[in-house]
Chain A
């Protein structure tokens, strides 16, 4: 019986959430395709992780090597290639994370296996693998099919598949000797670093005004900052604003920035790319202002305003000042 592989993503002693999301989806797919779910765990001294994974998979394939201590796509590729060649899994799932994007494409080329990236759903229809992914910053969904093959690789989006509470599987741990015979010479992990944050702690604010591309220019930010002050709140933003240097790193909300849960989040000119939404969708009340009536941000907002943000900011500030008087 063939298998579905889920590649465990772990960093600094922690199994990352995406792993459990994939194991949940993997369990469902294994049931539907009559295959067995296998968690693949590569690392150094990670038996504790293997024990955790036993609950979630039929089997835990464990490969330990000092060269697998930190993520290195070259080392991972060699080990995974060897495991996939031996086990011939129907499907290998990994996260569409900084880890998966570095690894999956080269693994797929080296094994001549079709790959689909950043998928939000996947399904086997007979032997054909169909995936759902997004294009144009989440403004459209695409249903796509992969070239027919015996084995597939798919990277999946974070926080897309819910982790279902299910009976422990009590899987078996299978230790596999490391196939790494020589040193991975062309790519070396050095260390982890935290970039300087700067700015206020947006995770502590009860009211946040998030600005995005629609702000057009850094010179348009002060009036919005004034509005935030009037509300006793803070200014946050989506990625492009930090990229352009208009606000410090610490203000960025999203998968590569902060996760916030304020009582009130006003999104101004933010289209609502998945990465940003991931960081703010748990806010109590979300009001989004965007010129595009189909902006994805409206899909997570409680209230939607289809209007130019510059027309809303001044009257909103006066209205609030009036109410405070």
Chain B
């Protein structure tokens, strides 16, 4: 079973304070820690688990600058066999559609039975790459996947619906499955594994190698273009409780008391 996993190198922003940069169209990236997109982390783990069970290969692909080699090294250390980085200044400003076009051009020439992606990326949150990629390749897809069982050319998947409900669907392979977080427990890698991965080759391809024109990628090849980024207006203004931790604790306890909860 040959599996392709598409990954993205993103800034970790869940617990960081972020600022909008001088262009007004992006955030200030300096000082932020970058890592594999959380959803892709689960997709990578699922790919490796399936390979361990069924044999075959895992190829990790990313689109990004040279910095994103770090995410590919992580994939190799975690059990991917090959890694491809797609890099070109023209790719800048690509939305999910342009990204999926670039990926589809490369993937159509690779052997695969299954493509795994994260259900969405933590930065732009488009949640479109997996299904668009599938459509461009002419194969079926499922998103929000919380469980995968493969049997005789068919993937039986659990899809997460709202309110805790799931649905089971059967998808004929080859297919694209966009994975939801929590599907597995991503493993930690030993230092040995990381060292070994440093020696592996990363294949690098640009716009010309991919076989797309300038107009098909970047902002011009995208459906959607950022005009302006701004801090969301707050729904209601919270009252800030200040002081030492002890003073704050006392204030919280007081609020509980007034509410009759103590």
Contacts and interface: CB of A to CB of B under 8 A. Distances in A.
Interface string A263-288: 11010010100000000000011011
Contacts of A104: 128, 131
A232 B260 CA distance: 12
Interface stretch (A26-34, A108-116, A161-169, A172-180): A108-116
Interface string B220-262: 0011111111111011101111000110111111011101011
B53 to A, nearest CB: 20
Given A287-B252, A294-B18, A301-B238, A191 B168 contact: yes
B211 interface: no
A135 B123 contact: yes
Contacts of A242: 182
B239 A304 contact: yes
B131 A102 contact: yes
Contacts of A284: 259
**Of residues B18, B131, B226, which shows the largest number of chain A Cβ atoms within 10 Å of its Cβ?**
B131
Contact of A142 (B160, B167, B182, B226): B226
A140 B20 contact: yes
Contacts of A292: 15-17
B228 to A, nearest CB: 4
Given A291-B15, A324-B262, A245 B185 contact: yes
Contact of B169 (A185, A187, A264, A316): A187
Query: Chain B interface residue count: which class?
Result: 35 or more
Interface string A2-39: 00000000010000100000000000000000000000
Given A106-B132, A316-B253, A114 B223 contact: yes
Contacts of A186: 139-140, 171-172, 175
Interface string A308-325: 000110011011100110
B256 A231 contact: yes
B96 A143 contact: no
Contacts of A101: 119-120, 127-128, 131, 143-144
A98 B226 contact: no
B224 A146 contact: yes
A82 interface: no
A282 B126 CA distance: 27
B134 A140 contact: no
Nearest to B18: A139
Interface string A64-96: 000000111110000000000000000000001
Contacts of A116: 223-224
A306 B159 CA distance: 37
Contact of B256 (A190, A311, A320): A320
Given A135-B229, A285-B255, A323-B253, A117 B169 contact: no
A304 B238 contact: yes
A170 interface: no
Interface string A121-144: 000000000110111111111111
A257 B250 CA distance: 32
Q: Is the interface of A mostly helix, strand, loop or mixed?
A: mixed
A46 interface: no
A88 to B, nearest CB: 18
B136 interface: yes
B170 A190 contact: yes
B163 interface: yes
Contact of A294 (B17, B96, B248, B251): B17
Contact of B13 (A114, A118, A137, A189): A137
Contact of B17 (A118, A293, A304): A293
A299 B143 contact: no
Contacts of B125: 117-118, 133-135, 137
B253 A319 contact: yes
Contact of A271 (B15, B127, B164): B15
A315 B246 contact: yes
A195 interface: yes
Contact of B141 (A106, A188, A197): A106
B122 interface: yes
Interface in A184-222: 185-195, 197, 206-207, 213-214
A142 B228 contact: yes
Contacts of B235: 299-300
B14 interface: yes
A274 to B, nearest CB: 10
Given A189-B167, A192-B165, A305 B241 contact: yes
Interface string B146-165: 10000000001011111111
29 contacts: A102-B142, A114-B224, A115-B128, A117-B125, A136-B123, A140-B231, A141-B230, A142-B226, A142-B227, A144-B225, A185-B172, A192-B167, A207-B261, A231-B256, A239-B182, A240-B181, A256-B164, A263-B259, A264-B259, A284-B259, A292-B15, A294-B17, A294-B231, A304-B239, A311-B245, A312-B249, A316-B252, A319-B246, A320-B262
Given A16-B162, A296-B232, 5 more contacts: A136-B13, A137-B13, A143-B227, A147-B224, A191-B167
The 9 closest A-B pairs by CB, nearest first: A243-B182, A315-B249, A105-B131, A114-B223, A304-B238, A190-B168, A299-B234, A316-B249, A106-B135
